[in-house]
Amino acid sequence: MALVGLVNYLDWRCRPAKNAWRVRSHQIASGQVMGGSGRVTLNDVAAASGVSRATVSFVLNDDPRQTISAATRERVRQAARELGYVPHGIARALREGASRVVVLNIDWGLEGNYSHSFIRGLDDELAAHDHVLLVHHGHHSPRSTRQVLDAITPRAVIRFAEPYLTGHDLDDRGGGWKDGLAAHAALQIRHLAERGHTCVALALPDTETPLADVRLRFAARTAEHLGLAAPVPFVVPRPRTAGARAIEELRTAHPDVTAVAAFNDDVALRTLTAAHDLGLTVPGDLAVIGYDDTEYGALITPALTTVHIDAEAHGRLAARAALGLDTTGLEPVPARVIVRDSV
């Protein structure tokens, strides 16, 4: 009896599909199963308040193109409240052409402070506009996106694979030098420069990501602007020993590098560990600055100095963009350097 009780994972389960022959079920799962019969529909509300379905719809949606008497309006509202009417999203979606759902595509390995606050902001703002956020984890082929699209026709699909933008768009539209990717990359490099470092390396993850190129470009532009040497890109691979080897190679190939700016906190942590394993002192022999302020940076010794980005506003903005709303008047909290012990 493997994994007894797993069935109870279920928080809620819809009545089985009518065409149950398709999924020949041998066992009915437990959980709170809700029969479809209980649903209160527009028809019920219409009947209860003695008007037509159309009128009910007009009232409940506050349709400005219709004139409904105050008395009727009140009667309908009352009935809806008493019956506990809730519009059926699926039916509405069929009619409107899209469900009130926004899907966020997140690739693996992008968790962190940024994604959390981004999701929070996105979720909040969508909720404020009567929409729901659902996240699709995995690696995202056009095919997998199509499946989601076909399954629920969401109002929009937002991709998080490249948290800000692809480099191309960025260049076209100002690069986000104010409060986007470019600004944050610059912040990181600038902090190193302020601490007197003149030759820095950029530590990249071993997984392929289009964002790496963009980051490198922005770092390079910032370095140039500050009069530093061009940043040296290098990869910090995953097994602990391989990471150490990478750092060793970097230091022999580029002896003048005194600081490392990491693509994210994960890579920074690996760099810190590698430095420790090589017997290097941090920040004496090598300074390290992270990016995105995960919890773990505070726990390692020496504690990681990093860039903290509050993406709540980014999330809200993304939500409004997805809904086709006005996106002005939403000032993001500026990113800041969390100074700890590694720089």
Closest distance to its own copies from the beta carbon of 68 (Å): 16
Q: Which of 194, 327, 339, 341 binds its own copies (CB under 8 A)?
A: 327
71 binds DNA (CB under 7 A): yes
Instruction: Spell out the residues 6+ positions from residue 272 whose beta carbon is closer than 8 angstroms to its own.
Output: 282, 288, 300, 302, 304, 342
> Between residue 167 and residue 196, which ones bind its own copies under the rule CB under 8 A?
169-170, 172-174, 176, 178-180
Contact window for its own copies (CB under 8 A) among 69-77, 244-252, 256-264, 310-318: 310-318
Residue among 163, 73, 149 at smallest CA distance from 117: 163
Picking from 221, 169, 187, 154, the residue whose alpha carbon sits closest to that of residue 293 is 187
Min dist CB 222 to its own copies, Å, is 18
- Which of 48, 58, 247, 291 is the binder for DNA (CB under 7 A)? 58
Q: Is 182 in the site for DNA (CB under 7 A)?
A: no
What strand order describes the sheet that includes 232-235? 232-235, 200-204, 259-262, 287-289
17 near DNA, rule: CB under 7 A: yes
- What does the alpha-carbon distance between residue 319 and residue 312 come to, in Å, rounded to a whole number? 11
CB of 7: closest distance to its own copies in angstroms?
A: 4
The Cα–Cα gap between 192 and 228 comes to 10
Of 150 and 326, which has the nearer Cβ to DNA?
A: 150
Give the residue from 231, 304, 309 showing the smallest Cα distance to 271. Answer: 304
The site string for its own copies over 72-101 (x = CB under 8 A, - otherwise) reads --------------xxxxxx-xx-xxxxxx
Burial of 172 (0-12, 13-18, 19+ CB in 10 A): exposed
Q: With binding defined as CB under 8 A, does residue 156 bind its own copies?
A: yes
Give, as one character, the DSSP assignment of residue 129.
T
According to CB under 8 A, which one of 249, 325, 339, 341 is a site residue for its own copies?
325
Shortest Å distance, C-beta 150 to DNA? 9
Q: Nearest distance from residue 52's CB to its own copies, in Å?
A: 18
Of the candidates 74, 138, 225, 256, which one interacts with its own copies according to CB under 8 A? 138
CB-count burial class (<10 Å; 0-12, 13-18, 19+) for 44: middle
For residue 81, state whether it binds DNA (rule: CB under 7 A): no
Largest Cα separation within the chain, whole Å, is: 85
Residue 185 near which of DNA, its own copies, none (CB within 5-8 Å, type-dependent):
none
| Distance (Å, whole) CA 195 – CA 197 | 6
Q: Which is nearer to its own copies, 96 or 256 (CB)?
A: 96
Interacting residues with DNA (CB under 7 A): 17-19, 36, 39, 41-43, 50-55, 57-58, 60-61, 63, 65-69, 71-73, 85-88, 91-92, 94-96
